[in-house]
Amino acid sequence: MVHQTHEPAVRPPTGGGAPTPVAPVRPTRRARARAWVTGHWAGLAVCAVVVPLSFLVHLLVPSIPVMTTAVVLGILSANLPGTGRLVEGPWQRGLGFAGKKLMRAGIVLLGLKLSIVDVLELGWATFGVVVLVVLLAFGGTYLLGKAFRLPGDQPLLIATGFSICGASAIGAMSAVRRSKDEDTVIPVALVTLCGTLAIAVLPLLMRPLGLGPEAFGQWVGASVHDVGQVVATAQTAGASALAIAIVIKLTRVLTLAPMVAAAGIISRRNGRAGDGEKGLKLPPIVPGFIIGFVVLVAVRSIFNVPTEVLEAVTIVQDVVLAAALFGLGSAVRIRQLFASKGASILMAMCSWALIAGLGYAGVLLLQM
């Protein structure tokens, strides 16, 4: 067998001199763009079909959030015999782009939903209780993940998603940690599963726990994972419950930037002790998309952003995040959820109960 070797091109010698190396021809910008489109268009085209379908399901059944439908459709596409091969073949690169790049764009736009003024109107006592619930939920969930021996960054990512803001927080933390894809998709599936259960279960507990509409809204805002799931759960108790639930939920989202920054500092410190010595690039302390998130929080807090702009940005964000969550869901394999005798699912249920308990304790504390 003849093995071909790739030698640098040389120009024939002139006048008996030594051959002159010729620089390799770099592809033009147009050629690179054409190659990118060729590799990604199929997966992104599927996203363009799934996102409107997710919105349609939400319109028909308002209790089902758009993001939940997108994740579920992604998981189904990866595990059904016909589409599973396409997910691993021609759709893969486009779906991977959606799961990473579009997720970061959605996190940036999320900042425009947050106003520091709204958070301060809650009062320092409420703000302190919400932050305490986030920290205890994060620490408790992380320890549960370690106790159940979940691999890699899964304990950290599950703790981040469950305690802060669901899949968006998982995407942000996985970016700064440079987590493996398999460590990211399982937490996304689990946060979707438990958030969906919350939509069905928490309203049933409102009366047995003796919660009025506002107290129920506080509980939902403090303990349900994703913003869409919070809306779907709190709206069952009326407008007053929904209003306070959203503000408390967005207060939890406000902790995303410092938590990710802390993870970035730790990752860089570990990188200097390990990979940094090998000349590998260290992870950033704060990724660019988190800076964008903070900038938009500042814009919303300082300037009077027109309602029309906020509504338009909300629609764009929902579209982008739905595509991102479909991409992430398409990387989930059902067998992974039941690996190690279903340890990840059991751990997620324990964490869900922990966060619901902490949120309820926070509500009781505020009523004292």
Chain segment 278-333, per-residue pLDDT in tens: 545 666 667 788 899 999 999 999 999 999 999 999 999 999 999 999 998 998 88
Q: What residues in the chain have per-residue pLDDT under 70? A: 1-25, 271-285, 340-341
DSSP character string of 256-299: HHHHHHHHHHHHHHHHHHTGGGGTPPPPPSS-HHHHHHHHHHHH
**pLDDT one-digit tens code per residue, 170-180:** 999 998 888 88
Question: What does the angle CA 268 – CA 265 – CA 133 come to, to the nearest 5 degrees?
Answer: 140
> What distance in Å separates the CA atoms of residue 112 and residue 298, rounded to the nearest whole number?
8
Structure confidence at residue 277 (pLDDT): 45
Structure confidence at residue 1 (pLDDT): 44
* Residue found under tokens 């460590």: 183
Structure confidence at residue 272 (pLDDT): 53
